[in-house]
Structures are given as structure tokens and as C-alpha cells.
Amino acid sequence: MSATTSGQPVPESDKDKGPGFFSRIAATPGQIARHWADYLYILPALGIMLVVIAYPVFYTVRLSFYATPANLAMKDKIWVGLDNYKRILQSQSFRDVTMNTLEWTILSTVFAFLIGLGAALVIQREFPGRSIVRGILLIPWVISYVSAAYIWKWLYHSDYGLINDFLMRTRLIDENINILDNVHRALPALIIANIWKEFPFAMIMLLAGLQGVPDQLHRAARVDGAGTWERFWHITLPHLKGVSIVTILLLTLTNLNSFTLVWIMTGGGPAGSTDIWITQIYQLAFGRTRFGVASAYSVILFLVMMSLGYFYVKALTRGDERREGA
């Protein structure tokens, strides 16, 4: 019911929409004082978080302003200010690695989401053997990234890989082709392997969202003569908006931070054609012992992921804000 002023209803748009997310979770000094005993219970957890999360982040940010010596003696590090960041942003290698990272992240996320959506729509329907199909589709997700990397590395092998063997048997090629050793084929091959590994996650998330679509809406639309595509576009898709945003953001964060698959299959090669931010950071730190530059790289990646994390939190709390504003 709308509030009234002098007997006149106040429009809903003029009502107080309530505090934002961060103001709602922030505790005032008075609240802390009243519940000080409760906060004592979380002090051990806060202490652990400070040690294993806050301190490494602080040290990485601090180290990004220094040039570190090749002898790994951190006491001899030299203050260089923003030089590490300038060197990274002005280098051609950063632009090349950024393009690889964008291609890897965007294509992996988009196709894993679309294939996951298609799979969710299929296994939502009742048909014989549905549980078996669902179990098979979950296999890529439940196996480890290390196992997945070696499986696909074997499939892509130029001498005895199943893909080359199949192409030779079907006479689609006359001789074995190099996949992971080719600068033009390596990154697309990694993206295909990554999509195979990740689409079951999107499938599970979207399948959960499909369970919340009211069946009576579909029945009413069928009575009105709506076809399959019209029902999907006007009923199913709008109900999947929230879970789709969350799924896409989680896939994006995972792909930005994906190291194992790329490193095991190609190590960033050949000739840096599959190098992405996370592998470049590893090589700078532990391959070239340039910890200052690697730390600056890490800070850039951290800021990008924190920005995406903000939108992820906003997407998660959107439903709560709508209910409070109702």
C-alpha cells in the first residue's frame, strides 16, 4: 500500500528505496558495541583472512613499486615507483597477451554458456535415459583440470592423437597436422578444450534457473498459439536473466584466472601464441625472476577481477533489493 501525505497517495517512485548494499552490510560503532561478544567469535576467522589474503595482497601491491634483483635478495630491491606499470602498459608483449586473454576469456565464456544453455533445455525435458545423459554431460566438470589438460593434449597429438587419426581415416587430411605446435591453431584448440571443461557448470546453473520458470505460463502461451521459439524468447529467457548474469560473470572470472589447462597443454607457446595474463605473470615471476613486474601485472589482473566481482555481488543482491523496495 502506498504511503499518503495530506490524504494524497505518494507515488511509488517517490518512496524511499532503502539503503544500498554496502550501507546495509556496514556495521555502525553502536551496533559493534552492542554485539561485541558476537564479534569475538569471528576474530579467529578474521585473523586467518588477514594472514592468508590481506597480507599477500598488500605485499604484492608494495612489491609492484620495486625492481627486484636477479639474485632474489629482496633486501636489495630498488624503489622504481610506477616504472613497472609503465613498462607493462607500453610493451608490445602486454598488448599481445591482452588480446590472447580477451580471445580466450570471451570465446570460452560465450560458447560454454550457450552450449550449457542448450544442454539445460534438453535435459530439462522428460525422455528415456535422461539421468544417464545428464551424468555423461557432467563428466567434464567433475574431472580435474590436470586430467582434462592431459586428455586433450593426447587427443591433439600430431602423431598418435585421436583427432588426427579420425581425420586421416575419413580422408579429410592427407598427413598429420600439428595443432598445439602451430601458432594459429594452438589457442583455438585450447579454447575448445576449455569450453568442454566448463559448459557443464553453465548447464547446472541454468538448469536450476529453468526449474523456477512457472509451467502455467507455458501452458497459457500454448493455448494462445505461441510457438516454441516465442515461448522461449518471451517466457523462458526473461526468467533466466538473473542466473544468466551470475553464470556469465563466474565463467569470466574463472577464465581470467585459468592457469592449469593452458600451462600443461602449451606452457604459453608456441612463440607466446597462447600466453594469457595468468601464465605471463607466472613466467615473469618464476621464469625470469622479475617479481616487481610480475607483481604489477598481478595488481592489474586483481583490479579487473575485483571490478567483475563487484558486478557479481550486485547481481546476487539484486533480488534482495527488489524485495526490500516492494
User: What is the rounded (10 degree) CA torsion for 28, 32, 34, 39?
Assistant: 150
Q: For the chain, what's the residue count?
A: 326
The position carrying cell 608494495 is 62
Please check whether residue 265 is in contact with residue 56, taking contact to mean a CB–CB distance below 8 angstroms: no
Judging by beta carbons within 10 Å of its beta carbon (0-12, 13-18, 19+), is residue 187 exposed, middle or buried?
A: buried
Short-list 116, 49, 70, CA closest to 250: 116
Judged by DSSP in three states, 14 sits in: helix
C-alpha cell at position 193: 578444450
Q: Where are the alpha helices (DSSP H) in the chain?
A: 21-25, 29-34, 36-49, 55-63, 83-90, 92-123, 130-142, 145-155, 162-169, 186-210, 215-223, 228-231, 237-239, 241-256, 260-265, 277-282, 291-325
Please check whether residue 121 is in contact with residue 137, taking contact to mean a CB–CB distance below 8 angstroms: no
C-alpha cell at position 53: 589474503
Distance CA 233, CA 223 (A): 17
pLDDT of the residue at 2: 44
pLDDT of the residue at 219: 80
pLDDT of the residue at 282: 94
Low-confidence residues of the chain: pLDDT under 70? 1-36, 70-74, 319-326
Judged by DSSP in three states, 245 sits in: helix
Tens of pLDDT, residues 161-190: 899 888 888 888 888 889 999 999 999 999
C-alpha cell at position 54: 590481506
Distance CA 222, CA 299 (A): 53
Read off the DSSP letter of residue 229: H
Structural domain boundaries in the chain:
85-325
Distance CA 202, CA 83 (A): 41
Q: Give the global pTM.
A: 0.81
> Distance from CA of residue 168 to its chain's centroid?
36
Neighbours of 257 (CB within 10 A): 13
Residue 253, CA atoms < 13 Å, CB-side half-sphere: 17
C-alpha cell at position 129: 535415459
pLDDT of the residue at 322: 55
C-alpha cell at position 322: 527488489
pLDDT of the residue at 55: 86
pLDDT of the residue at 194: 97
C-alpha cell at position 22: 554496502
Read off the DSSP letter of residue 64: T
The second-level CATH assignment, the architecture, of 85-325 is: Orthogonal Bundle (1.10)
Q: Is the dihedral of CA 76, 80, 81, 86 positive or negative?
A: negative
Tens of pLDDT, residues 85-117: 999 999 999 999 999 999 999 999 999 999 999
DSSP annotation string for 108-143: HHHHHHHHHHHHHHHHTS--TTHHHHHHHHHHHHHS
Q: Which residues have CB under 8 Å from 93's CB, separation 6+?
A: 272, 280
